[in-house]
Structure 1
Amino acid sequence: MSRLLYEHSVSYKGYLIIPFVFGKADNYEIYSYKLLSQIGHKSKFHKVENPGGIYGSTIDNIIDIAKEHIDQHLEFISHGDHFKSRYTYRDNLIIIFLEADKYFYDHYPPDSLNNIAAPKLFHSEYECLRWIKQGMDGLHIRHK
């Protein structure tokens, strides 16, 4: 599997659709997707790869396929966009959440949906993003 294409992710009805290149055939890329659910492990589709088993020829095509699968198998009604504050930095996905006037985040590396976020609260979205960026930049410098 190639890296997850977080920069092309789409929030849809309580899910985050994350495309990736599944493989190549005759120099054409074949796309698949993974899902995150706003209700987490309560969803049978949380962190699942391509539950419909259908692949696409473009990113837009695989997003449409994923949306159709979600529409056919909707598990809950979503209120608002749980994934609206998401960022891609150094090919990592960062999702910022606000709860009880405190900010926290989920952090997913480029190649998996394993949340590697530190359990830390922040007073603003900016403070949270700055802390994550400093940590990731420090790791990048140490690995060179």
Structure 2
Amino acid sequence: MSRLLYENSVSYKGYLIIPFIFGKADNYEIYSYKLLSEIGHRNQFHKAENPAGIYGSGVINIINIAKEHIDQNSEFVHRGDSFKSRYIYRNNLIIIFQEGDKYFYDHYPPELLNNIAAPKLFKSEYECLNWIKQGFDGRHLRQRAI
């Protein structure tokens, strides 16, 4: 599997559709997708890979396949766009959430949907993003020095 194409992800009805290149056939790329659900592990499709079982010929095609599957199989009413504050930094997906006056985040690496965020609360989205960026930049500098 190639890295997850977070930059092409689409928020749709309480899900984040994340395409990736599944493979190649005759020099054509075959696309698949993974899902995140705003209600997390309480949803059968949270972190699921291609629950529709259909592959696509491009990013738009696979997004449309995922949307159709969600339309036919969604089991909850979404609250709004839980994935609106998402950022990509060094091919990593960062999703910022707000509850009251506190902010926190989920962090997914480029290759898999495992949340590796630190359990930390912030006073603003900016403070959260700045802390994440400093962590990445510091780690990146340490790796280059080795």
Q: Give the TM-score band, short-chain normalised.
A: over 0.9
1:92 correspondence with 2:92: yes
Distance 1:46 1:118 in 2: 20
* Aligned position for 2:31: 31
TM-score relative to the length of structure 2 = 0.97
Amino acid in the other structure paired with 1:122: F
How far did residue 17 of structure 1 move?
A: 0.1
* Aligned position for 1:60: 60
CA-atom RMSD, angstroms?
0.5
Distance 1:24 1:142 in 2: 36
Distance 1:112 1:50 in 2: 14
Amino acid in the other structure paired with 1:35: L
Amino acid in the other structure paired with 2:106: D
Distance 2:16 2:61 in 1: 16
1:136 match: secondary structure: helix
1:83 correspondence with 2:83: yes
Moved over 2 A (4+): none
2:126 match: secondary structure: helix
TM-score relative to the length of structure 1 = 0.99
1:140 match: secondary structure: helix
How far did residue 91 of structure 1 move?
A: 0.1
How far did residue 143 of structure 1 move?
A: 1.4
Deviation string 1:17-49 (CA, Å, 9 cap, x unpaired) is 000000001111000000000000000000000
Gaps of 5+ in 1: none
How far did residue 79 of structure 1 move?
A: 2.0
* Aligned position for 1:133: 133
Distance 1:140 1:30 in 2: 32
* Aligned position for 2:70: 70
Amino acid in the other structure paired with 1:136: F
Percent identity (aligned):
78
How far did residue 124 of structure 1 move?
A: 0.5
2:53 match: secondary structure: coil
Distance 1:136 1:7 in 2: 18
* Aligned position for 2:105: 105
Distance 1:56 1:16 in 2: 17
2:115 match: secondary structure: coil
How far did residue 83 of structure 1 move?
A: 0.3
* Aligned position for 1:7: 7
